[in-house]
Amino acid sequence: MANPVIKAEKREEFGKGASRRLRAAGRVPGVLYSSGEDNLHFHVDILEISALVRNDGTNAILELDIDGEKNLAMVKNIDQNVLTLNIDHIDLLGVKRGEKVNVEVPVTYEGEAAADAVVLQELDVVEIEVEALKIPDEIIVSIEGKEIGDQIFASDLQLPEGAELLTDPEFLVINVTYEQVDEELEAAAADVEEGGAEAGADTEGEDGDAEGTVEIADGGEGDEGASE
Instruction: Indicate whether 90 belongs to any domain.
Output: yes
- Here the CATH number for the domain that contains residue 24 is 2.40.240.10
The torsion angle over the Cα atoms of residues 158, 162, 168 and 169, rounded to 10 degrees, is 40
Instruction: Indicate whether 225 belongs to any domain.
Output: no
Q: Which of 47, 37, 27, 29 has the alpha carbon at shortest distance from 72?
A: 37
**One domain for residues 84 and 131:** no
Instruction: Indicate whether 205 belongs to any domain.
Output: no
What range defines the domain where residue 109 resides? Answer: 102-178
Give me the DSSP letters along 145-183: T--TT-EEEGGGS-PPTT-EE-S-TTSEEEEEE-PPP-H
Do 75 and 16 meet the contact criterion of CB atoms below 8 Å apart?
no
Phi and psi at 14, nearest 5°, equal -135, 170
pLDDT of residue 153: 97
Helix (H/G/I), strand (E/B), else coil: 84: coil
pLDDT of residue 194: 67
Do 127 and 95 meet the contact criterion of CB atoms below 8 Å apart?
no
pLDDT digits (tens, 9 = 90+) for 107-165: 999 999 998 899 999 999 999 999 988 888 899 999 999 999 999 999 999 998 899 99
Number of domains in the chain: 2
- Here the CATH number for the domain that contains residue 157 is 2.170.120.20
**One domain for residues 66 and 115:** no
Spans of the chain, pLDDT less than 50: 210-228
pLDDT of residue 8: 92
pLDDT of residue 207: 53
**One domain for residues 29 and 66:** yes
pTM for the whole structure: 0.65
**One domain for residues 107 and 169:** yes
